[in-house]
Amino acid sequence: MPDSFNRDSLAKWYAKQHLKTDPAVRSIYYLPTDAPEREIRFIEVNELIADINDDALEPIDFGVDTGMESEHKVVILDVTPRQWTRIRQPSLSLSLSLSLPLPQGWSLTGAMHFKPKA
Protein backbone atom coordinates (compact mmCIF):
# COMPACT_ATOMS: atom_id res chain seq x y z
CA MET A 1 0.00 0.00 0.00
CA PRO A 2 1.36 3.48 -0.81
CA ASP A 3 2.77 5.36 2.22
CA SER A 4 0.82 8.62 1.98
CA PHE A 5 -2.79 9.25 1.00
CA ASN A 6 -3.18 9.79 -2.72
CA ARG A 7 -6.69 8.74 -3.73
CA ASP A 8 -5.91 7.84 -7.34
CA SER A 9 -2.76 5.87 -6.47
CA LEU A 10 -4.55 4.04 -3.68
CA ALA A 11 -7.49 3.25 -5.96
CA LYS A 12 -5.13 1.71 -8.50
CA TRP A 13 -3.40 -0.31 -5.77
CA TYR A 14 -6.70 -1.55 -4.27
CA ALA A 15 -8.05 -2.48 -7.71
CA LYS A 16 -4.96 -4.52 -8.53
CA GLN A 17 -5.16 -6.30 -5.16
CA HIS A 18 -8.85 -7.14 -5.58
CA LEU A 19 -8.26 -8.47 -9.10
CA LYS A 20 -5.37 -10.63 -7.87
CA THR A 21 -7.24 -12.10 -4.91
CA ASP A 22 -10.78 -12.56 -6.27
CA PRO A 23 -10.95 -14.53 -9.53
CA ALA A 24 -14.72 -13.92 -9.80
CA VAL A 25 -14.19 -10.18 -10.34
CA ARG A 26 -13.98 -9.60 -14.07
CA SER A 27 -13.82 -5.78 -14.02
CA ILE A 28 -13.43 -2.94 -11.55
CA TYR A 29 -14.50 0.63 -12.22
CA TYR A 30 -13.07 3.41 -10.05
CA LEU A 31 -15.50 6.35 -9.85
CA PRO A 32 -13.71 9.49 -8.62
CA THR A 33 -16.24 12.02 -9.97
CA ASP A 34 -18.27 13.66 -7.17
CA ALA A 35 -16.80 11.33 -4.51
CA PRO A 36 -15.70 12.90 -1.23
CA GLU A 37 -11.95 13.60 -1.06
CA ARG A 38 -11.16 10.58 1.13
CA GLU A 39 -13.53 8.11 -0.47
CA ILE A 40 -12.59 5.56 -3.12
CA ARG A 41 -15.65 4.26 -4.98
CA PHE A 42 -15.56 1.02 -6.93
CA ILE A 43 -18.05 -0.94 -8.96
CA GLU A 44 -16.89 -4.54 -9.11
CA VAL A 45 -18.44 -6.75 -11.77
CA ASN A 46 -18.50 -10.13 -10.06
CA GLU A 47 -19.51 -13.34 -11.83
CA LEU A 48 -20.20 -15.31 -8.64
CA ILE A 49 -22.61 -13.09 -6.72
CA ALA A 50 -26.29 -13.97 -6.70
CA ASP A 51 -28.62 -12.00 -8.94
CA ILE A 52 -31.42 -11.96 -6.37
CA ASN A 53 -32.71 -8.44 -5.70
CA ASP A 54 -31.19 -6.38 -8.44
CA ASP A 55 -33.36 -3.33 -7.94
CA ALA A 56 -31.65 -2.30 -4.71
CA LEU A 57 -27.94 -1.76 -5.19
CA GLU A 58 -26.19 -1.25 -1.85
CA PRO A 59 -22.50 -0.39 -1.70
CA ILE A 60 -20.42 -1.69 1.21
CA ASP A 61 -18.30 0.83 3.13
CA PHE A 62 -14.86 -0.31 4.30
CA GLY A 63 -13.30 2.31 6.57
CA VAL A 64 -9.50 2.16 6.39
CA ASP A 65 -6.94 3.50 8.89
CA THR A 66 -9.75 4.86 11.07
CA GLY A 67 -8.57 7.57 13.45
CA MET A 68 -5.27 8.04 11.63
CA GLU A 69 -3.97 10.72 9.27
CA SER A 70 -4.39 8.31 6.33
CA GLU A 71 -8.05 7.55 7.23
CA HIS A 72 -10.26 6.94 4.19
CA LYS A 73 -13.11 4.81 2.88
CA VAL A 74 -13.21 2.22 0.17
CA VAL A 75 -16.82 1.82 -0.93
CA ILE A 76 -17.55 -1.18 -3.14
CA LEU A 77 -20.67 -1.88 -5.15
CA ASP A 78 -20.64 -5.53 -6.25
CA VAL A 79 -22.82 -6.15 -9.30
CA THR A 80 -23.49 -9.07 -11.60
CA PRO A 81 -22.61 -8.81 -15.29
CA ARG A 82 -26.35 -8.45 -16.06
CA GLN A 83 -26.71 -5.63 -13.53
CA TRP A 84 -23.66 -3.89 -14.99
CA THR A 85 -25.25 -3.98 -18.44
CA ARG A 86 -28.42 -2.43 -17.01
CA ILE A 87 -26.42 0.32 -15.26
CA ARG A 88 -24.23 1.11 -18.25
CA GLN A 89 -26.71 0.93 -21.06
CA PRO A 90 -30.20 1.78 -19.85
CA SER A 91 -31.16 2.77 -23.40
CA LEU A 92 -30.92 -0.91 -24.39
CA SER A 93 -33.66 -1.76 -21.90
CA LEU A 94 -37.16 -2.07 -23.26
CA SER A 95 -38.42 0.42 -20.70
CA LEU A 96 -36.94 2.80 -18.17
CA SER A 97 -38.10 0.49 -15.38
CA LEU A 98 -35.49 -2.04 -16.58
CA SER A 99 -32.60 0.38 -16.20
CA LEU A 100 -30.66 0.22 -12.95
CA PRO A 101 -29.56 3.48 -11.34
CA LEU A 102 -26.35 3.92 -9.41
CA PRO A 103 -26.52 4.89 -5.74
CA GLN A 104 -27.30 8.56 -5.22
CA GLY A 105 -24.27 10.79 -5.88
CA TRP A 106 -22.40 8.15 -7.90
CA SER A 107 -21.44 8.83 -11.51
CA LEU A 108 -19.77 6.88 -14.33
CA THR A 109 -18.30 10.14 -15.66
CA GLY A 110 -14.51 9.86 -15.56
CA ALA A 111 -14.59 6.20 -14.50
CA MET A 112 -11.30 4.33 -14.69
CA HIS A 113 -11.48 0.68 -15.77
CA PHE A 114 -9.31 -2.09 -14.33
CA LYS A 115 -9.44 -5.70 -15.48
CA PRO A 116 -7.46 -8.86 -14.77
CA LYS A 117 -4.26 -9.35 -16.71
CA ALA A 118 -4.60 -11.94 -19.45
Residue with the bigger pLDDT between 15 and 82: it is: 15
Q: Which residue has the higher pLDDT, 74 or 2?
A: 74
Domain 7-114 of CATH type 3.30.460: yes
Rounded CA separation 111/39 (Å):
14
Spacing of C-alpha 45 from chain mean position: 8
Q: How far apart are CA 103 and CA 118, in angstroms?
A: 31
What pLDDT is attached to residue 17? Answer: 94
- What's the pLDDT score for residue 50? 79
Average pLDDT of the chain, as a whole number? 85
Give the per-residue pLDDT at 54.
58
> Tens digits of per-residue pLDDT, 91-114?
554 554 567 788 999 999 999 999
5 pLDDT above the threshold of 70: yes
What is residue 86's predicted lDDT score, i.e. its pLDDT?
85
φ/ψ of residue 10, rounded to 5: -65, -40
pLDDT category, 23, cuts 50, 70, 90? very high
pLDDT level of residue 12 (50, 70, 90 thresholds): very high
The total of other beta-carbon atoms located within 10 Å of residue 4's CB is 8
